[in-house]
Structure 1
Amino acid sequence: MVTNQQIAQSFSNENLELIILPTEKCNFRCTYCYEDFSIGKMKEPIIRATEYLLQNRLKSLKSLSISWFGGEPLLALDIVLRINNFINNEISKNNYEIDFKSSMTTNGYFLNLENAIKLFEANVKSYQISLDGDKDFHNKTRIKANGTGTFDRIWNNLIQIRESEMDIEILLRLHINEDNYESCFDFIKKLKSELLFDSRFKLLIKAIGKYGGKNDHLINPLSKEEEQELANYIFEHKVQDENQNICYASKPNSFVIRADGNINKCTVALNNPINNIGKLVGSGSMEINTDLAKLWSLGFFNNDKDYLECPMSKIPELVKKADSQQAFGSMAGSVVKSSFVLLSKFVLS
């Protein structure tokens, strides 16, 4: 159940969540990936615009979350360090009292100890890294662009970090499908014995689905029986599972800044026009299609749990019938306008 506090935090102008894609290129070609890697590294005008945006907003913030995504964000490590250190310097020189947290979703290939230390010093202290099971299975699906395996490099990086004293958190996202299902339980035991005994490491088990990529036809999802068996295992062994009430995309104060300056709400449906809600301009302002943006947060008003957990999967039927994004904007505006007037009154009361 969504609490009043969660609603207030999601709508407050004193909180800002940015998911930044410093590059949309990747050194991996995971067989189930939905991205097309058509946009490269963030260029200087977009970097400066991001800094201007942050400089303007920091004055009124109490909480700032910067999450680094991609592509593979460590292919643009220089941009990550530059922007995070810009934030740190602005907070320090202006004596802002801001709770600034920064995290990264990375494939882990370049997260060696040297880079982890640089990122730690820039305030990146939380990571999500995906594994597709043991070496044999992982190296079939999470492969480099040249087709070679990646497991050993990632595992060695994780062991290096485990042996360090850095105060960071690493969420290991274990992908499960029909192909690696039988072996995943032995691999979980390996994770427990070599990493999870360290409180800095956590485990998230995720059944792989079809996310709209060109290789969806190659994915073998779990059967209903296997999903239930896996759920029972998670419960019995107290293994962490994905459990979120509100998707970041539902929150009005959460935005995705792409490498080309486009502003999205969701990191999955990157090329869906419904997801493109605006543009970051040179001055640091965000030009937002407010009607489109409002629709992503409609779950707060209609109290639809599924809508809040994944608004992209619950966009109303009128979106499908719209001939264009402009037509959709006017239609959506008439549908949600009264809803958000009421919701705003509720949040502020």
Structure 2
Amino acid sequence: MPVSIVLRIHFSPETLQLLDPLIKDIKKEFTHDPRFSIFFKAIERLGSPNDASIKIFSETEKEEALKLLQSKLFGENGSSQNYSFPDNPICYASRPNSLIIRANGNVGKCTVALYDERNHIASLQPDGTLKLVPGRLAPWLRGIENLDLASLACPLVNLPSS
């Protein structure tokens, strides 16, 4: 079965210039491997109590920053390989084969609910296996099971308590 991995890299006005060493490593390790796609994502205000303190780009600045990052990764005339999520009413977190792996090895479904305990569905073990947290994956997939469009669009909405 083919595998595809999206490296999603968040950036802000404060971190944009700090990405050069990471881009150098990604260029060396991943751009030649067709299984990997790079997705640069400017951080956004998504409704947290700290939204006002988050510095974000204007739309124009965000587009310029994305072009800059693409250029650094693929060169001035290189292909623009930034992975884009299609306009699809089904959220990636509703898909059984879509997982996020955090830097600490925790595995989740949703990049918005990073600190929600219900989003910690497994842990990546040193040997590469996953240790599932019992009962945590099924609630994220309930939209697939019952074909509820609201759950498919955002499984976090009305996600049952664990």
Structure 2 distance, partners of 1:141, 1:167, is 29
For the 8 Å contact 1:68–1:80, the answer to whether it is kept is no
- Give the one of 84, 87, 90 matched to 2:30: 84
Query: In the alignment, is the contact (CA less than 8 A) between 1:306 and 1:314 conserved in 2?
Result: no
2:79 to 167, 176, 201: 167
1:104 maps to which residue? 39
- Structure 2 CA distance for aligned equivalents of residues 275 and 76 of structure 1: 30
> Distance between the aligned counterparts of 1:250 and 1:153, measured in 2?
27
Partner of 1:291, secondary structure, is: coil
Residue 112 of structure 2 aligns to a residue whose secondary structure is coil
2:158 is the counterpart of 1:311? no
1:64 and 2:4 equivalent? yes
> Matched residues in 2 for 1:301 and 1:248: separation?
15
- State the match for 2:47 in structure 1: none
1:260 aligned partner, one-letter code: N
Residue in structure 1 matched with residue 50 of structure 2 by the alignment: none
Cα deviation digits, residues 54-91 of structure 1 (max 9, x gap): xxxxxxxx131323234669376155456526x83xxx
Equivalent residue, structure 2, for 1:74: 19
Pick from 102, 110, 114: which aligns with 1:266? Answer: 110
Please say if residues 263 and 278 of structure 1, whose CA atoms lie closer than 8 Å, have aligned partners that are also in contact.
yes
Change (3 A) 1:154 1:306: closer
Aligned to 1:158: 67
Letter in 2 for 1:165: N
Q: CA deviation at 1:262?
A: 1.0
How far apart are residue 284 of structure 1 and its match? 1.0
CA separation in 1, counterparts of 2:104 and 2:152? 27
Q: Comparing both chains, which one has the higher relative contact order based on Cα–Cα distances under 8 Å and sequence gaps of 6 or more? A: 1
Distance 2:141 2:61 in 1: 41
Task: Give the counterpart of 1:297 among 138, 141, 146.
Answer: 141
**Partner residue in 1 for 2:56:** 142
Structure 1 residues 288 and 102, CA, compared in 2 at 3 Å: closer, same or farther?
same
Q: Which runs of 4+ in 1 moved over 6 A?
A: 151-154
Cα distance in 2 between the residues matched to 1:157 and 1:266? 23
**If the length of structure 1 is used for normalisation, what is the TM-score?**
0.34
Partners in 2 of 1:156 and 1:262 — Cα distance? Answer: 29
Instruction: Letter of the 1:283 partner, please give it.
Output: D
Q: Measure the CA separation in 2 of the matches of 1:157 and 1:250.
A: 27
Question: Aligned in 2, Cα 1:82/1:262: closer, same or farther, shift over 3 Å?
Answer: farther
What residue identity is the alignment partner of 1:142? Answer: I
* Structure 1 residue runs without a partner (length 5+): 1-13, 15-61, 89-98, 108-128, 131-139, 144-148, 172-201, 205-241, 320-327, 329-349
Which residue matches 1:136?
A: none
* 8 Å Cα contact 2:40-2:82 kept in structure 1: no
User: Which structure is larger by alpha-carbon Rg, 1 or 2?
Assistant: 1
Match in the other structure for 2:96: 252
**Match among 129, 146, 161 for residue 285 of structure 1:** 129
What whole-Å deviation, never above 9, does each CA across 1:278-336 have from its counterpart, x for those lacking one? 111111111112521111011011111110111011313xx1xxxxxxxx3xxxxxxxx
Taking the aligned partners of 1:84 and 1:250, their CA distance within structure 2 comes to: 27
Q: How does 1:10-21 map to 2 (within 5 A)?
A: 14=1
Structure 2 runs not aligned, ≥5 long: 45-53
Q: TM-score, normalised by structure 2?
A: 0.66
Superposition deviation, residue 245 in structure 1: 2.5
SS of the equivalent of 1:254 reads coil
Q: Once the 2 structures are TM-superposed, how far is the Cα of residue 273 of structure 1 from its aligned partner?
A: 0.2
1:312 alignment partner, SS class: coil
Query: Residue 255 of structure 1: CA displacement?
Result: 0.9
